[in-house]
Amino acid sequence: MADEKVYVPETIQDQPFPQEGVAVSYDATQPSANQTYTPSVVKDQTFPTKRIAVELIGSALNTKSRKILGKFEFTKSGSIQVGTYENGVSGDIRISPTGISARNLSGVTTFALDGDTGDAVFAGQIQAGALIAGAVAVGDGDILIDGESKRMVFYDESGIPVIIIGNA
């Protein structure tokens, strides 16, 4: 039996429990009349309800008819583009601090408003219930309709008035 091997158990070092040696607080318990400690009562807690912004949607936007019902304020930004221009498919409208312009699906600018000068260009007809203006130049400026002086002046090619209708 001299060649038998003897097995000895390993020695495991004692490890302290977490926070061992820290003073225990009994603040979470309440003493009863006979000095027995009982756990404190915790009120029932409900899960918070999910808040959905229904007031804005209900009073300012009608999602069924896809219409804006209320007033909105815009913040400062560079520009806005409505739609995406694709040749032969769709046009777009661009709004920027310098003006507004629109293109049709052929890429032709159908209207443009210059924010700096006030110039306006329209490719189609302009219709109005009433037109109030100081003077209207027709064509190349050969015909001038002046509402303030109540007259119409027709000019020749050299710029000389040839016909004056109204106050001379």
Structure confidence by residue, pLDDT tens digits, 74-133: 777 788 888 889 999 999 999 988 899 999 999 999 999 999 999 999 998 888 877 777
H helical segments located in the chain: 54-60
Q: How far apart are CA 101 and CA 110, in angstroms?
A: 8
More confident residue, 72 or 83: 83
Residue range 136-143: mean pLDDT, rounded:
83
Instruction: Enter the tokens of residue 97.
Output: 């601090």
Which pLDDT value is given to residue 24? 57
Provide the pLDDT confidence category of residue 68 given band limits of 50, 70 and 90. Answer: confident
What are 16-31's pLDDT values in tens digits?
Answer: 776 666 665 555 555 5
Question: Could you report the per-residue pLDDT of 154-165, keeping only the tens digit for each?
Answer: 999 888 989 989
Whether the pLDDT of residue 13 is over 80: the answer is: yes
Rounded Cα–Cα distance for residues 38 and 35 (Å): 9
Q: How many degrees, rounded to 5, is the angle at CA 88 between CA 85 and CA 92?
A: 25
Structure tokens at 96: 């920027």
* Nearest partner of 132 among 120, 119, 148, judged by Cα: 148
pTM, two decimals, is 0.43
Give the separation between CA 156 and CA 145, rounded to whole angstroms. Answer: 15
Facing residues of 94 across strands?
81, 101
